[in-house]
Structure 1
Amino acid sequence: MNNDTLAIVTGASQGIGRATALRLARDFHTLVLVARQRERLEDTAAAVRREGARALVIDRDLSEPDAASHVVDAALAAHGRIDAVLNIAGAVPQVDLFEMTDEQWDAGIALKLHGARRLTMRAWDALKASGGAVVLTSGNSATVPKAPYAAVGTINAAIVALAKAFAERGTKDGVQVNSVLPGPVMTDRRRTYLETWATAHDMSTESATRTFLAQAGIGRYGTPEDIAELMAFLVSPAARWLTGAQLRMDGGEVQAI
């Protein structure tokens, strides 16, 4: 662990964000954990501290325009520097293209796209000073959009484009920026979706899981820990010459080049 480093992890209360925070606790002295659910954040913070790292909890909704400034100001006040920003927050409703409301579109864009954009921009000067790294989280639907998940695909595609733009600026400013495209990962949210789908189709959750895995053409769902390992690599010294990339981790679901 580097005794001088700090990483900001959003969406840290559950799923990939929580797993990433626990993985980064091995490498960073201080983690700033951001999400909307205070109780779950505190649970993540306790686990991070057991790994030997410091943890600062900030329960803010990153869709709010002033939230990014609050997070960065708190991080700098606590530690004086920022070495990595991992933008993981941003669940987007999986609603059919013709059923999704303007309010649902706006909420998804405000949290996942604008939340990541504002936080990265607000932290940029500190990242320049430290020669830091940024990760933006997208998903397979960025390149394989489908009508049942139109908003997810549209926003994820925007995340990839945004990461490219930040990476281009980063080549001048000394900031590394990449995007990660996770495939099907077994989180609490996905587990609930499978249970609901199974009930609606009068089958067991196990049968529903096998059905979706067969449709995806993969042997198993990914775990949050699978993605966390990739996140940790991207903000490590080993990845310093990797920037502007979109890294897909999906168990082979997407066969396109």
Structure 2
Amino acid sequence: MEMSNRVAIVTGASQGIGRATACRLAREFSAVAVVARNRENLELTASEVTHAGAEPLIVDVDLSLPDAAGQVVASTLAAFGRIDALLNIAGAVPQIDVFEMTDRQWDDGLALKLHGARRLTVAAWPALKASAGSVVLMSGNSALFPKAPYAAVGTINAAIVALAKAFSDRGIADGVQVNSVLPGPVMTDRRRSYLEHWAQLHAMSVEDAITRFPAEAGISRYGTPEDIAELMAFLVSPGAKWMTGATVRMDGGEVKSI
């Protein structure tokens, strides 16, 4: 099956890395189901997917809810009859100190990023097995160095890496490829909002904050959503088919350890 006849599901597709990934895959896949909670933003993504050459399907659901995964899979199969790639990108976890984060905030982060990805992968697995498809779960560099100011992000990202490894082990027998991705600092709307808040706390301009952070991280620049989208597209391409169970960093060299 050539790339041009394949179907992908992209979660978190209403903005940032998810939107960039959906648009990148639209250049090579025939159809892309875009999944998120914000329908208005998804409509913008869908128009870009159409412009890139693929047929979009909007599925506006809250993946933190137990029934959402089944809805996404059923809608995609009803529209296109197959699933060849699943890219689990949804899940923003608040950056709150470990001693200040409430149980509700922990539960919300786990429900969307971890359990949402887990449920959707399980629900899509039979279709992915039938197509010898691919799964990518997005984690983050904080999985490698969880710190007190963003304990939940690091903890949940580490769990995502472990979950992907477990799925990849099952995928060897079932013919489903599974990998995880650890992006470094990427300039999204959410990161810019964080920098605006940080700049205000430290009495500096947003521009100075944007310049300062890459230097402190030892990188030349922030990544872009399009940078990560290119990696996502490679991981679900025929050229990466023997690559499974891998945890792939794309961070501009932020992580200095081997």
Q: CA deviation at 1:197?
A: 1.0
Q: How does 1:165-204 map to 2 (within 5 A)?
A: 165-204=166-205
Q: Which residue of 2 aligns with 1:158?
A: 159
Q: Secondary structure at the match of 1:28?
A: coil
SS of residue matched to 2:116: helix
Partner residue of 1:45? 46
Output the CA distance in 1 between the equivalents of 2:36 and 2:192.
20
Question: Once the two structures are superposed, what CA deviation does each residue of 1:38-93 show, in whole Å capped at 9, x if it has no partner?
Answer: 00000000011011100000110000000000000000001111000000000000
Query: Which amino acid in 1 is paired with 2:11?
Result: T
**Partner residue, 2:245:** 244
Cα distance, 1:242 vs structure 2: 0.2
Aligned residue in 2 for 1:32: 33
Match of residue 128 from structure 2: 127
Corresponding residue for 2:97?
Answer: 96
Q: Distance in 2 between matches of 1:92 and 1:104?
A: 8
Amino acid in the other structure paired with 2:70: S
Question: CA separation in 1, counterparts of 2:225 and 2:95?
Answer: 19
**Which residue of structure 2 aligns with residue 209 of structure 1?**
210
- Corresponding residue for residue 14 of structure 2: 13
Q: CA 1:5–1:122 in 2, change beyond 3 Å: closer, same or farther? A: same
Distance 1:134 1:107 in 2: 23
Aligned amino acid, residue 105 of structure 2? Q
Aligned to 2:235: 234
Give 5+ residue unaligned stretches, structure 1: none
What is the aligned length? Answer: 257
- 2:34 partner letter: L
User: Normalising to structure 1: TM-score of the pair?
Assistant: 0.99
Task: Tell me the residue number matched to 2:72.
Answer: 71
TM-superposed CA distance for 1:210, in Å, is: 2.0
Match of residue 59 from structure 1: 60
Structure 2 runs not aligned, ≥5 long: none
1:3 Cα deviation (Å)? 4.3
Query: Could you tell me which residue of structure 2 aligns to residue 148 of structure 1?
Result: 149
Matched AA of 1:251: G
**Does structure 1 retain, via aligned residues, the 8 Å contact 2:4–2:28?**
no
TM-superposed deviation, 1:206: 1.2
2:114 aligned partner:
113
User: SS state of the match for residue 145, structure 2?
Assistant: coil
TM-score by length of 2: 0.98
- Superposition misfits of 4+ residues, deviation over 2 angstroms: 1-4
**Percentage identity across paired residues of the two chains:** 72
Partner SS, residue 166 of structure 1 = helix
- TM-superposed CA distance for 1:195, in Å, is 1.0
CA distance, structure 1, for counterparts of residue 96 and residue 212 of structure 2: 20
Let me know the Cα RMSD of the aligned residues: 0.8
